[in-house]
A and B are shown apart, each in its own frame.
Chain A
Amino acid sequence: MTRLGFDDVGFTYPGATVPALTGCSFAAGAGAVTWLTGALGAGTSTALLLAAGLAPMHTGGLRTGRIHTLGLDPAEDGAARALGGRVALVLSTPATQLSGIAETVAQEVAFAPANLGWPRDRIHAGVGRALEALAIPHLATRDPTTLSGGEMQRVVIAAMLVLEPELWLLDEPTSALDVDGRALLHRLLRSEALRGAAVVVASEDADGLATVADRLVVLTAGRVALDGVPQDLLRGDRIWDAGAGSTSIGTLARVAGVAAPRPLSVDEGVARWAR
């Protein structure tokens, strides 16, 4: 079941001479992790903002084409209300997503559910589970403004997880996370997909997502250049032509002159090159 659909979508930011997206079409289904990638400026972040309805409403600009998010056009009146709590948007700069009024991390995670009028018991239980899932129960009473970048990112993700969203939109969610945090997030993306959510993640981290994503959509200058099975695309040449890259091992293989299909993981690299 498609939870997010882009149909020939174009978008230009106000004052921009070049559109951020052109003729962009792709779909993300429930129970799957869809990975969006592209060079810096290819339009992956813009696509997420459009899906969440923040563009053009908060950013200004002109949108063409059709988008359906959980069956609704996110730019239409009333969509925000109907989608509230069902779509989770996690931006790449966690500090900008804090509510600014929570005195503790627990209150921060409870912020959205409280806004949705959930009963107190349900909120408390949900907050506890979300903090556990992000391995941060020890941060429950901390002041959110004293958190490090990585801790903040976990808190924001927990604050979305508590809502049990139907659609996840994550923009470079591991940018500030340490090794443990990245592994935890990857496990979380899979478990959310298992729960039935549609997970859409914009990321450059091929090493991390190669084995996590079910689908890879590559954007080049605002247009969908490739759409397919991640491992297949990462092993080939077209992804490089599209301006994106591969895993560390895949990149090494390419520079070392190995023809496609190239090894992607360390094990595959050893198999390829060990005497």
Chain B
Amino acid sequence: MGPVTPLVMESVGFRYGADPVLHEVSLRLEAGEGVALLGPNGAGKTTLTRLAMALRHPGTGRVVTVGRDTDGRRPEDLADVAGYLFQQPSAQLFERTVRAEIAFGPGRLGWPAGQVEKAVASVLEELGLEAISDQHPYDLPEPTRRLVALGAALVSAPLLLLLDEPTAGLDREARARVARVVGSRRAAGAAVLAVTHDLGFAVEALDRAVVLEHGRIREDAPLLGIVGRDAKYPAPPLLALHRRLGLGAVRPTVGAMAPLLTSHPETGTLEA
């Protein structure tokens, strides 16, 4: 049996009561892909991610998450292969320590204690939360709580990550951390679908854009083909500079661009 496709949506239609929310949505995410789900408010972006997690079920069409048809399945049936980060993640926190909070999921999935401990330690390190791992989540500032919730979604090493505005309310350092974490998870083979309006984060961590408007996919293309080319999605400063300087295939991030721009002190010209 070959590798499983993280997400397949075929001609999905969904209504909320009488209001049509999604119409003929077809989407496919392969392992390692990072998709930014863009579009105006009310376009159906969050709904799409909820369908992928079996929080809702399509009226028409099919949703297959990591090889499992969501028809007849519930979110807890997908928890071992998919991770979901909600828009208001603080609401779910309840354990006495950050460590226990992150360990909750794998515990419910029946992982042996040793395996849980290892996974939790790894996630704490990845997100820079070791220092506060024994604190009560409610005593922490909101940005840190959001990182804890992200940790909880990551700890079971899901093959599909569904993130709803993952950088909202985060400070610069935390945003950079999230971008790094998404990058490394993708490199490890997970697919990421993120609803986001943070184009700086998208450009750094993701590579494909799906634009949803009025419940339909208006465009599905490489991210850099849309950001900075479509007036609705202007290039963040680094990308804009990258293009104007013609820096080619290098990633539009500080880390990747800086070495190219380090100038020679005497001549003042760019190092090749």
Contacts and interface: CB of A to CB of B under 8 A. Distances in A.
A275 interface: yes
B241 A275 contact: no
Contacts of B262: 256-257
Interface stretch (B59-67, B163-171, B213-221): B163-171
Interface string A229-249: 000000000000000010111
Given A95-B88, A151-B41, A252 B241 contact: yes
Contacts of B200: 248
Contact of B41 (A41, A92, A148): A148
Interface stretch (A49-57, A112-120, A263-271): A263-271
Contact of B169 (A39, A151, A176, A252): A176
Contacts of B232: 179
Interface in B175-224: 197, 199-200
Contacts of B233: 179
A39 B141 CA distance: 13
A274 B245 CA distance: 6
B270 A255 contact: no
Given A178-B197, A179-B232, 12 more contacts: A39-B171, A148-B42, A150-B41, A151-B41, A172-B169, A179-B199, A179-B234, A204-B171, A256-B261, A266-B241, A269-B245, A273-B261
A140 to B, nearest CB: 15
A177 B168 CA distance: 9
A177 B41 CA distance: 11
Contacts of B257: 252, 256
Contacts of B269: 275
B98 to A, nearest CB: 16
B77 interface: no
B197 A179 contact: yes
Contact of A40 (B168, B173, B199): B173
Contacts of B270: 273, 275
Nearest to B261: A256
Contacts of B143: 40
B234 A248 contact: no
B197 to A, nearest CB: 4
Contacts of B261: 252-253, 256, 258, 273
A93 B245 contact: no
7 contacts: A40-B141, A176-B165, A204-B172, A248-B254, A252-B238, A257-B262, A266-B244
Interface string B130-156: 000000000001110000000000000
A176 B168 contact: yes
A143 B269 CA distance: 58
Contact of B245 (A40, A207, A258, A273): A273
B171 A149 contact: no
Nearest to B144: A40
Contact of B237 (A41, A176, A177, A265): A265
B245 A149 contact: no
B236 interface: yes
A273 B173 CA distance: 26
Contacts of A25: none
A92 B238 CA distance: 26
B41 A270 contact: no
B246 to A, nearest CB: 9
A93 B99 CA distance: 25
